[in-house]
Each structure stands twice: as structure tokens, then as C-alpha cells.
Amino acid sequence: MLNPLTRKLLAFCDFTSAERRALARLGEYGVQRLPGNGLGNDPRKPGDVYLVVDGWAQRYKILPDGGRQILAYLLPGDMSERDTDVFGGFDHEMEAIGYATVCQISKQTLLETERDHPRIAIALAWAACVERATLQEWIANLGRRSPERRVAHLLCELWRRMAIIGNADGDVMSFPVSQVQLADTVGLTPVTVNRIIQRLRQQNTIILQNGKLQVLQAEQLCTMAGFDAAYLYADNSHAKSHDF
């Protein structure tokens, strides 16, 4: 079975068996299981990169007034930012959601892998590019979508990303995010998020309970969210056509 990083990058280009072995090795360094969901348990050491292999993690900021803003969800196959680690400290925190399994990869190991397998380096750069596009989509989400659409859009994105790595079983997927976390993601209060979710349930659009999300009416959800998956570059046709 391929690890989630390989599964994710496969959406960008095919790999030789040598490359696949290298990717597999990346998922075997310093494996550790982290509890999140509590105190500040940010496990990061500068210079190292963390790859989520099971469960979810989140990156977030705490503002001066104590408010929290979630900046990104790290699904299996996602890595903590590499560049930031290279150029200095972190400007945000990271922690697991519930429990997550991550592996800790030294900068050197990563650089050697990229040196030995240029196509992997390109694929990782592509992944970083998608991450930046996602940040931009979140800005648009927070700034110019109605509360209901905001939540819907986030659900669409997470569903699609889980599907890309093969972690969505049809229209059902694991969804370990609490309503408070959703609120800290989409810039609303937990109360509002709760009422929006109830509305979505009443419309038979989704089922969300017990850490599981089921999308009953995908078409409707995507439409109301104004969701266009292009920014995830899940449509790899143009990417694969490059000479990589």
C-alpha cells in the first residue's frame, strides 16, 4: 500500500519504481503518534519537516486578544511548511486534531531525496503551490462569501482533498473537526456554525456526526458554496502534460 504522500503526488505525475521507493522511505522517518486537541503540544523542531501519515493536524495563529485563527488543515500526505523552517522561526503553531501520526524528516534527508529524484522535488514544489492557492481561496472565502457558503465551501474542499488521497469512501469520510474549530476557521462563532450545519442537515445536504461526514447532495453543496476545485489542481491533465 502506498503512503499518503505518494498517493497525493500521484495526482501530479506518475513515478518510477525508484521514485516510489524514495517516497515510501520518506514516510518511515521518526514516526510518532501525537495527541492534539489539548494544550499547546506543537512538536516541531526548526529545520525538521513533519509529514502527516494518519489523522489530521492543523496550523493556526493565536492573536493578541486571544482569538484563534486556523490557517490550514493538514491531511494525510501533507507536510508542515518547508520554507518557513529554512528561513527562520515559525509564525504559527501546529498541532494534531485528536490523534495523528506524523513522521519527522530532517531537512537534510529531504534535500537529499530531492537531489536524487528531481521529479520528486518538482512534485513537492507543485504541492506547495497548491497550498498557496488554498490560502488564497480561504481569503476569498472569509472575505466575500456568506457564512453559509463559507462553511459549505470548507466542507467541499476537505471532502475533495480526502478524495484525492483516497481517504474518502465514496461520499463518506472521517471528519475529526469540532464546530468550535470550524468556527475558528471560517471566522464565525460556534453558535452560528452550529445553526448553519443544522440547516444543511435539514436540507438533507450532509450528515455530520461522530467524527464522520457524509455528503448526500454533492451537487447542491458545491453549487451553493460556489466551489470550483480547480485551485486544488486535482485535474492533473495540464500538470501531467508538462515534461516532467
Partner DNA sequence: CGTTAGTTTGAAAGTCTTCAATTCTCGTGG
Partner DNA sequence: CCACGAGAATTGAAGACTTTCAAACTAACG
Interface with its own copies by CB under 8 A: which residues?
A: 61, 63-65, 67-69, 71, 81, 83-84, 86-89, 91-92, 125-126, 128-129, 132-133, 135-136, 138-140, 142-145, 184-187, 226, 228, 230-231, 233, 238-239, 242
Crossing angle of helices 147-164/190-202, nearest 10°?
70
- CB of 175 vs DNA, minimal distance in Å: 9
Q: Does 140 sit near DNA (CB under 7 A)? A: no
Alpha-helical regions (H) of the chain? 4-9, 17-26, 82-87, 107-116, 118-144, 147-164, 179-186, 190-202, 218-225, 237-240
- CB of 195 vs its own copies, minimal distance in Å: 18
170 binds, among DNA, its own copies, none (CB under 5 to 8 A by kind): none
Stretch that binds DNA, among 43-51, 88-96, 110-118, 175-183 (CB under 7 A): 175-183
Q: Distance between CA atoms of 34 and 214, rounded to whole angstroms?
A: 26
Q: List the grid coordinates of 2.
A: 502506498
Residues 6 or more apart whose Cβ sits within 8 Å of residue 231? 130, 133, 134, 136, 137
Which CB sits closer to its own copies, 38 or 143? 143
Q: Pick from 195, 217, 226, 229: which binds DNA (CB under 7 A)?
A: 195
191 binds, among its own copies, DNA, none (CB under 5 to 8 A by kind): DNA
| Of 46, 47, 43, nearest in space to 74 by CA | 43
Q: Does 100 sit near DNA (CB under 7 A)? A: no
Q: Grid cell 450545519 — which residue?
A: 197
Binding site for DNA (CB under 7 A): 37, 146-148, 178-180, 187-192, 194-195, 197-198, 209-210
